[in-house]
Amino acid sequence: MTEKVKIVTLGCEKNLVDSEIMSGLIDRRGYSLVDDRDDATVIIVNTCGFIDAAKEESVNTILELAELKESGKLKALIVSGCLTQRYKQALMEEMPEIDGIVGTGDFHNITQIVDEAVKGKKPVYVGNPVFNYEQVLPRKLSTARYTAYVKIAEGCDNNCTFCSIPLMRGKFRSRSIESIVEEVKGMAAQGVKEFSLIAQDSTNYGTDLYGDYKLPELLDRVSRVDGVEWVRLHYAYPGFFTDELIDMIASNPKICKYVDMPLQHSEDAILKRMRRPGRNRDIRELIAKIRSRIPDVSLRTSLIVGFPGETEEDFERLCDFVREIKFDRLGVFTYSQEEDTPASRLPDQVAEDVKEWRANTLMEIQRTVANENSGKYIGKVLDVLVERYDGRSDVYVGRSQFDAPEIDGEVFVTNCSGNIGDIAKVRITHAFEYDLTGEAVL
């Protein structure tokens, strides 16, 4: 009997890519991939273990899916990803419902693991997370047919005091330019137009492999592939944001004028405790340089509130920083006290209710900022990637180059005669906090 496999993906886009590779390998093995968990004989849960909320979601998902065994159809429940890499022993001891475990450096062995799990062998494949798929492995995209994520590196060497990623993903490891370009060529030939390049620390790309910052060269090479329309960069570490990178984004028409640069905080004392690069002055100078040389850039960042030792004064200055800098997009997270990280042992931990209040306050400030920022697009003609049709409102919905998939705003388009996946010219007529509306330019 051919096994029917369902993959449930939790967490970030890097996990999504791993799941797509596992899907490709499973498909090539001859097993069936199914969308409905009730139809599955094997379920793989690709977990996240980054913060407490993500770990809780992962555990709850595993327990929920384990209940499907009662029907007798589900033969094996396999758990992969960051949670297993970090807590393999605890998972095997405390959750007998699990029939197999796969670490972040072993997911390329998934077909063998499935074979063993359905035979009741309880396989555990969790080694050092050193695997980096230099060989282009088969992928079955779970995103829309016109957009895809591409991992350009794995792991991280920055050792921020709050972060557990090195414990789960290992040291920083770049893929070669040739491997990445080959993967992009294959997906572009299948109709993918938008490529989002991702890594935990994308601006450090190439330093381990080539001895130099090679992200500008990689962006240029990817943009030259036939069929590529947009190249989007995620998670640009501010400490390695070079002038050459700024010039490449500014000058190359296929590179989205979109910078996703996690800053985490604005205040020197907190940045020092976080072990982040640079200080307030450095951040301001870098942002000013990016905006002066890429005038139409959309700048996204993420911030952490409630880090140990963050005072009311620190938080007020962070609020002032957000008001002043006027980020186009902003994500706010409350500090999570992760075991085995240096920050978890710091004094002056902030109460949970204070963290939540600060996060909500900061997001309210950003709502006002976003509303002000979005008005600059009124009257402009933007390229919009059309993603769906809303029959109730008789409008098409898409994204401009200034909005990343899933996390940012949308553009609602009237009078559009294109197809899903096309890039249309749209004149913006109205602006809201995060979304825009406009008319297709025929």
Domain boundary among 375, 407, 426: 375
In a domain, 138, yes or no: no
State the CATH number of the domain containing residue 187. Answer: 3.80.30.20
Check whether residue 346 and residue 387 sit in a common domain: no
Residue 304 to residue 262: CA distance in whole angstroms: 10
Q: 2: left (phi > 0), else alpha (psi -120 to 50), else beta?
A: beta
Check whether residue 369 and residue 385 sit in a common domain: no
In a domain, 266, yes or no: yes
Check whether residue 350 and residue 405 sit in a common domain: no
How confident is the model at residue 324, as a pLDDT?
Answer: 97
Check whether residue 119 and residue 166 sit in a common domain: no
Contact 6, 27 (CB under 8 A): no
State the CATH number of the domain containing residue 113. Answer: 3.40.50.12160
β-strands 255-260, 298-305 pairing = parallel
Check whether residue 235 and residue 361 sit in a common domain: yes
Is 402 strand, coil or helix? Answer: coil
The distance from CA 107 to its chain's CA centroid, rounded to whole angstroms, is: 19
How confident is the model at residue 93, as a pLDDT?
Answer: 86
Q: Tens of pLDDT along the chain (442 residues)? A: 689 999 999 988 989 999 999 999 999 999 999 999 999 999 999 998 877 788 888 889 988 998 988 888 899 999 998 888 888 888 888 889 999 999 888 888 999 999 999 998 998 888 877 766 677 778 899 999 999 999 999 999 888 999 988 888 889 999 999 999 999 999 999 999 999 999 999 999 999 999 999 999 999 999 999 999 999 999 999 988 999 999 999 999 999 999 999 999 999 999 999 999 889 999 999 999 999 999 999 999 999 999 999 999 999 999 999 999 999 999 999 999 988 899 999 999 999 999 999 999 999 999 999 999 999 999 999 999 999 998 888 899 999 999 999 899 999 999 887 789 999 999 999 999 889 999 999 7
Domain boundary among 334, 350, 375: 375
In a domain, 224, yes or no: yes
Residue 280 to residue 317: CA distance in whole angstroms: 11
In a domain, 362, yes or no: yes
Is 210 strand, coil or helix? Answer: helix
In a domain, 142, yes or no: no
Check whether residue 299 and residue 153 sit in a common domain: yes
Check whether residue 217 and residue 165 sit in a common domain: yes
How confident is the model at residue 54, as a pLDDT?
Answer: 81
Check whether residue 162 and residue 109 sit in a common domain: no
Is 187 strand, coil or helix? Answer: helix
In a domain, 204, yes or no: yes
Number of domains in the chain: 3
Contact 3, 75 (CB under 8 A): yes
Residue 84 to residue 102: CA distance in whole angstroms: 7
In a domain, 134, yes or no: no
> Is 416 labelled a binding residue?
no
The distance from CA 390 to its chain's CA centroid, rounded to whole angstroms, is: 26
Check whether residue 151 and residue 259 sit in a common domain: yes
348: exposed, middle or buried (Cβ count in 10 Å: 0-12, 13-18, 19+):
exposed
State the CATH number of the domain containing residue 396. Answer: 2.40.50.140
Other beta carbons less than 10 A from residue 420's beta carbon: 15
Check whether residue 66 and residue 203 sit in a common domain: no
In a domain, 432, yes or no: yes
Q: Is the dihedral of CA 388, 394, 398, 403 positive or negative?
A: negative
> Is 319 labelled a binding residue?
no
Domain boundary among 375, 395, 428: 375
3-state SS string for 39-107:
HCCEEEEEECCCCHHHHHHHHHHHHHHHHHHHHCCCCEEEEEEHHHHHHHHHHHHHCCCCCEEECCCCH
Check whether residue 371 and residue 407 sit in a common domain: no
Check whether residue 75 and residue 160 sit in a common domain: no
Contact 126, 107 (CB under 8 A): no
> Is 156 labelled a binding residue?
yes
How confident is the model at residue 56, as a pLDDT?
Answer: 86
Domain that holds residue 47: 4-125
